[in-house]
Amino acid sequence: MTQPTRITALPRHRDAGRRLNVVAGGAGFIGSHLCRALLDRGEGVLCIDSLQTARPSNLAALTGHPGFSFVRHDITAPLPASVLAEVPRIHRVWNLACAASPPLYQMDPEHTMLTNVVGTNHLLRLAERAGARFLLTSTSEVYGDPEVHPQPEEYRGHVSCTGPRACYDEGKRAAESLVFDYGRAGRAQVRVARIFNTYGPNMDPGDGRVVSNLICQALRGEALTIYGDGTQTRSFCYVADLVAGLLALMEAEFDGMQPVNLGNAAEITVRELLDQVVALSGTQARVVHRPIPVDDPRRRRPDLDRAAQLLGWAPRVPLSEGLAQTWAWFAAELQGELKARPAQAAE
Amino acid sequence: MTQPTRITALPRHRDAGRRLNVVAGGAGFIGSHLCRALLDRGEGVLCIDSLQTARPSNLAALTGHPGFSFVRHDITAPLPASVLAEVPRIHRVWNLACAASPPLYQMDPEHTMLTNVVGTNHLLRLAERAGARFLLTSTSEVYGDPEVHPQPEEYRGHVSCTGPRACYDEGKRAAESLVFDYGRAGRAQVRVARIFNTYGPNMDPGDGRVVSNLICQALRGEALTIYGDGTQTRSFCYVADLVAGLLALMEAEFDGMQPVNLGNAAEITVRELLDQVVALSGTQARVVHRPIPVDDPRRRRPDLDRAAQLLGWAPRVPLSEGLAQTWAWFAAELQGELKARPAQAAE
């Protein structure tokens, strides 16, 4: 009896069966796509997630795969014995664990900070013990409200360390510094990705990000919300591109002592994004303007030169295509909810 | 029998006997002066220190005072029962605990980061539990190598979060964000001081700071070391001024949700400092130039407007006077060592 052939566009490693990836935050939006991609390559995945902000259905879609195992755990606490027992098999440690949407990460700012610093530290110690390579998903938020545009990795950022976003922004900056200290001391091979705005299937409809907000509002026939006047810009990367970038970064052969921006450099205003969602949905709902949150960045666009040079990677999916796929996913996801509602929603 | 009168210029609180101050890092350079000042006001001091970078003689000078008690403890670990038992009496929590000299804090960068983040968090929880006011000694290092001069508190800084100084700089920024999150949530009354270069008695001769380095080299007849060409500037505050500022900040009645610079705005080049030490000592030793460390700031000077407005505080001791006092203290401190050396040292 042979195993059924797995159909995948990604290369399967010869020793894939022996490779175990620890993916902290693997039940989250990006994490769930990463777990899927690793499983599709024939590698093993041990997912650690507290499920505090993860969608249970992301996890459900992975559970049952023979290469997948799950430990419910909050990484601010020392790693449990069930994870430590896997040390001999652990080849890669990925840290994607942290609430990433401002309303969620600001609900418990102390926990957000500790997740980034103490959690990253626990995972770095695991990588050191296992001799595994470690990757931190940092964020474009380390640039704050940038005064340099687009943002290259050398830019030191413009972050308020006293405001309500600091628990996340400064937490990630602190996590980066820990990671590079491990790298500098030779305690682990390290990689740091600075992830810019990302969208796609598996986003949480309720986490308050602009793409999911607008699509869900359009699907529900609700008014479309814009914060401020909508002239602030973002650069949206489709999640499949982002995960390809993460995989390329983890496996790239360089010393790892530089962070690498991952995202999409096509910059649009939030207003233009809204127009695309309106065109896609045909919604005639009105637009409501809300006050712009404190320390909300005005502009964001990654400089992707380093990613191109070190990884040979660039995003491929245009916004129109990615939005259409995301729209279709949300439409299916919200189907039950929409069917149960009065006809007004279909207008 | 009455108690002997304590001679002090500082006001003694009426309820001083009931006030207990927890001073983490109280055996360090600034901490030991703060403990002394609090004791001189008739308040109680519970000093917590790991003694990893503190001078034992700083502690020895405090031990035996009836208002002083000491717990040897590393604040990265949960606070011991002996501290928690004092919760009903704790009125103020001061966090001065962290190695502050670059060679020392870079020896174990992971520990430096955890001291700032986890240690601060443990002390914030103590303050919350005790209903005590909390003060963090942050640092001018949160401004990094500043592009705005002098540095007002609104300046967001120019810090590398990937370099060897990041464990301290980003650790302090992360600690600030934790403190302000406690303040924002009403979990504790908070104060944050951003301390600029400080000097004076009780500095560790071996901790590698420029004032202590130059004075000790001059006293020992050794060559005087300058990093880079000596044109980088610093603004040196005498420790008695700094401690007066800390006391004023802790007791000032405002919401505490802004950091406050404490230091001295008289800016001189490192070369000018060297000339003053040469004049003071009469040393004829040669000057050696060493390479400037990575990310060493070029310029530093506090904008002290906020301190003046909120606290009515300004530094008073001119550098010439403070240096003379520091010189005298180091001369006494190194007396035994110098006597034991050959005559060359006296030249």
Closest residue in B to A144 (Cα–Cα): B156
What's the CA angle centered on B185, arms B180 and B187, to 5 degrees? Answer: 90
Alpha helices in chain B (DSSP H): 29-40, 56-60, 81-84, 102-105, 109-114, 120-130, 166-184, 210-220, 239-251, 270-281, 305-311, 319-333, 335-339
CB atoms within 10 A of CB B16: 16
* pLDDT tens-digit profile, chain A (347 residues): 333 333 333 344 445 556 999 999 999 999 999 999 999 999 999 999 999 998 889 999 999 999 999 999 999 999 999 999 999 999 999 999 999 988 899 999 999 999 999 999 999 999 999 999 999 999 999 999 999 999 999 999 999 999 999 999 999 999 999 999 999 999 999 999 999 999 999 999 888 889 999 999 999 999 999 999 999 999 999 999 999 999 999 999 999 999 999 999 999 999 999 999 999 989 899 999 999 887 788 888 999 999 999 999 999 999 999 999 999 999 999 988 888 876 554 33
Alpha carbon separation from B17 to A89, A255, B13, B85, B252 (Å, rounded): 60, 58, 8, 17, 20
CA distance A42 to A36: 10
- Across the interface, whether the CB atoms of A171 and B174 are under 8 A apart is answered yes
Q: What tokens appear for A320 in the block?
A: 């129109």
Q: Which of residues 95-114 of B touch A (CB under 8 A)?
A: 109-110, 113-114
Beta carbons of B323 and B276 less than 8 angstroms apart: yes
Pairing of strands A90-95, A190-195: unpaired
A308 touches chain B (CB under 8 A): no
Beta carbons of B122 and B75 less than 8 angstroms apart: yes
Q: What tokens appear for A108 in the block?
A: 């418990």
Count of positions (residues) in chain B: 347
In sign, the C-alpha dihedral spanning B255, B257, B263, B266 is negative
- Which residues of chain A are within 8 Å of residue B144 when distances are taken between CB atoms? 156
- Confirm whether B199 is a catalytic residue: no
Q: Phi and psi dihedrals of B341, rounded to 5?
A: -100, 160
ipTM of the complex: 0.90
* Rg over CA atoms, chain B: 20
Q: Which residue has the higher pLDDT, B186 or A295?
A: B186
> What is the Cβ-side half-sphere exposure of residue B202, based on CA atoms within 13 angstroms?
23
Task: Tally DSSP H helices, then E strands, for chain A.
Answer: 13, 13
Q: Which residue has the higher pLDDT, B145 or A260?
A: A260
Beta carbons of A83 and A13 less than 8 angstroms apart: no
Largest CA distance in chain B: 62
Please give the domain boundaries of chain A with CATH numbers for all domains: 17-198+238-262 (3.40.50.720)
Closest CA to A171 of A225, A89, A106: A106
Give the model's pLDDT for residue B294. Answer: 78
- Across the interface, whether the CB atoms of A161 and B177 are under 8 A apart is answered yes
CA distance B269 to B273: 6
Residue type, A87: V
Q: What is the mean pLDDT of residues B325-344?
A: 84
Beta carbons of A119 and A97 less than 8 angstroms apart: yes
A128 burial class (0-12, 13-18, 19+ CB within 10 angstroms)?
middle
Catalytic residue among B168, B182, B199, B238: B168
Find the range with the poorest average confidence among A173-187, B106-120, B139-153, B283-297: B283-297
DSSP string, B208-264: --HHHHHHHHHHHTPPEEEETTS--EEE-EEHHHHHHHHHHHHH--S---SEEEES-
CA distance B148 to B303: 10
Pairing of strands B90-95, B133-139: parallel
Q: Which of A163, A166, A177 lies closest to B166 in CB terms? A: A177
Give the model's pLDDT for residue B5. Answer: 32
Q: Is the pLDDT of residue B250 over 80?
A: yes
Residue type, B221: G
- Which residues of chain A are within 8 Å of residue B164 when distances are taken between CB atoms? 181, 184
- Across the interface, whether the CB atoms of A171 and B177 are under 8 A apart is answered yes
Task: Number of A to B CB contacts under 8 A, please give it.
Answer: 123
Residue type, B120: T
Q: What tokens appear for B77 in the block?
A: 């670990």
Q: Is the pLDDT of residue B244 over 90?
A: yes
Instruction: Evaluate the omega torsion of the peptide bond into residue B150 and state whether it is cis, within 30 degrees of 0.
Output: yes
Give the model's pLDDT for residue A88. Answer: 95
> Could you tell me where the beta strands, DSSP code E, fall in A55-168?
68-72, 90-95, 133-139
B126 touches chain A (CB under 8 A): no
Alpha carbon separation from A55 to A31, A178, B16 (Å, rounded): 11, 29, 54
Closest residue in B to A166 (Cα–Cα): B177
Give the model's pLDDT for residue B207. Answer: 80
> Running DSSP on this structure, what letter comes out for residue B318?
-
DSSP string, A217-273: HHHHTPPEEEETTS--EEE-EEHHHHHHHHHHHHH--S---SEEEES---EEEHHHH
Element housing A29 (H / E): helix A29-40
A148 touches chain B (CB under 8 A): no
Q: Which of B110, B173, B185 lies closest to A173 in CB terms? A: B173
Closest CA to A260 of A91, A136, A173: A136
Confidence of residue B117 (pLDDT cuts 50, 70, 90): very high
SS3 assignment, position B91:
strand
Give the model's pLDDT for residue A16. Answer: 53
Q: Is the pLDDT of residue B136 over 80?
A: yes
User: Rounded to 10 degrees, what is the CA torsion of A24, A27, A33, A39?
Assistant: 70
What pTM, to 2 d.p., does this model score?
A: 0.91
CA distance B38 to B32: 10
Q: Which residue has the higher pLDDT, B299 or B306?
A: B306
- Across the interface, whether the CB atoms of B178 and A156 are under 8 A apart is answered no
Q: What tokens appear for A266 in the block?
A: 């096509």
Beta carbons of B100 and B78 less than 8 angstroms apart: no
Give the model's pLDDT for residue B343. Answer: 52
Residue A225 β-bridge partners:
A288
The 10s digit of each residue's pLDDT in B170-185 is: 999 999 999 999 999 9
CA distance B115 to A118: 11
Q: Which of A110, A121, A180 lies closest to B114 in CB terms? A: A121
Q: Which of B174, B181, B258 lies closest to A117 in CB terms? A: B174
Closest CA to B203 of B239, B229, B179: B239
Please list the helix, strand and coil fractions of chain A in percent, rounded to the nearest 5, in that order.
Answer: 40, 20, 40
* Rg over CA atoms, chain A: 20
